[in-house]
Amino acid sequence: MWDRHVSAALLGTRRRAVPVLPEAPEQGDAAGRLLDQAAVLTLRRRAGRTPGNGIGAEAIAPAPAEDLPAVPPEAARRLERILGGERIRVLPEWLDAASAHGRRVPARLLPELLERGRGDRMLRASIARASGRRGVWLALLNTDWAYLAGTDPGEGPDGWETGTRNQRVAHLTRLRGTDPATARETLRETWPKEPAPDRAAFLATFEHGLSLADEDFLESALDDRGKEVRQLASDLLARLPGSAYGERMAARARACLRPTPRARILVEPPRTHDEGLARDGVAPPAAWPHEILARTPLSTWTELFGLPPTEIVRLPVIDAGDRAARDVHLGWAGAALRQRDTEWTRALVTGGVLADEPAALADLISVLPEPERTPAAAELIRGVDGRSVPTVLERVPGPWTGRLADAVVATVAAAAERATHRYEPTLTRLCRLADLRLDPEVAPRLDDLARRHGADTITELTETLRFRDEMLKELAP
Same domain, 361 and 437: no
Same domain, 361 and 256: yes
Residues 6+ apart with CB under 8 A from 72: 474, 475
Helix (H, G, I), strand (E, B) or coil at 74: helix
pLDDT at residue 154, as a whole number: 47
DSSP 8-state class, residue 104: B
**Residue 55 located in a structural domain:** no
**Residue 62 located in a structural domain:** no
DSSP 8-state class, residue 60: P
**Residue 431 located in a structural domain:** yes
**Residue 27 located in a structural domain:** yes
From 95, 129, 149, the end of a domain falls on 149
Same domain, 385 and 469: yes
Neighbours of 217 (CB within 10 A): 17
From 213, 237, 261, the end of a domain falls on 237
Same domain, 34 and 133: no
Alpha-carbon distance of 5 to 335, in angstroms, equals 52
**Residue 414 located in a structural domain:** yes
| Torsion on CA atoms 167, 171, 173, 176, rounded to nearest 10 | -160
From 102, 129, 149, the end of a domain falls on 149
**Residue 58 located in a structural domain:** no
Same domain, 319 and 433: no
Which string of DSSP letters, residue by residue, matches 200-220?
HHHHGGGGTT--GGGHHHHHH
Q: How far is CA 294 from CA 167, 369, 392, in A?
A: 33, 21, 21
Same domain, 403 and 462: yes
Helix (H, G, I), strand (E, B) or coil at 317: strand
Same domain, 172 and 267: no
Residues 6+ apart with CB under 8 A from 40: 21, 23, 24, 51
Same domain, 411 and 457: yes
- 271 burial (CB, 10 Å; 0-12 / 13-18 / 19+) is exposed
Alpha-carbon distance of 358 to 351, in angstroms, equals 13
ω into residue 399 within 30 of 0, thus cis?
yes
Same domain, 379 and 363: no
- Which strands make up the sheet holding 317-318, listed edge to edge? 257-259, 265-267, 317-318
Split into its structural domains, the chain has a count of 5
Q: What share of the chain is helix, strand, coil (3-state, %, to 5)?
A: 65, 5, 35
Q: Phi-psi bin for 306: left (phi > 0), alpha (psi -120 to 50), beta?
A: left
**Residue 398 located in a structural domain:** yes
**Residue 218 located in a structural domain:** yes
Q: How far is CA 88 from CA 84, 142, 200, 342, in A?
A: 8, 24, 33, 36
Helix (H, G, I), strand (E, B) or coil at 185: helix
Residue 202 in contact with residue 168, Cβ under 8 Å? Answer: yes
Residue 295 in contact with residue 280, Cβ under 8 Å? Answer: yes
Alpha-carbon distance of 46 to 49, in angstroms, equals 8
Same domain, 88 and 34: no
Instruction: Supply the range of the domain harboring residue 382.
Output: 375-477
Q: Phi-psi bin for 307: left (phi > 0), alpha (psi -120 to 50), beta?
A: beta
Same domain, 248 and 354: yes
Residues 6+ apart with CB under 8 A from 381: 389, 392, 393, 404, 407, 408, 411
If the chain, 477 residues long, is cut into consecutive pieces of 10 residues, what is the mean pLDDT of each piece? Answer: 76 79 75 82 68 60 90 97 95 96 95 93 92 91 82 56 82 91 95 94 95 96 94 95 95 89 83 84 72 94 94 85 80 95 94 87 91 89 81 87 91 78 80 93 88 82 95 92
Residue 261 in contact with residue 255, Cβ under 8 Å? Answer: no
Same domain, 444 and 383: yes
Count, in order, helices (H) and strands (E) of the chain: 28, 3
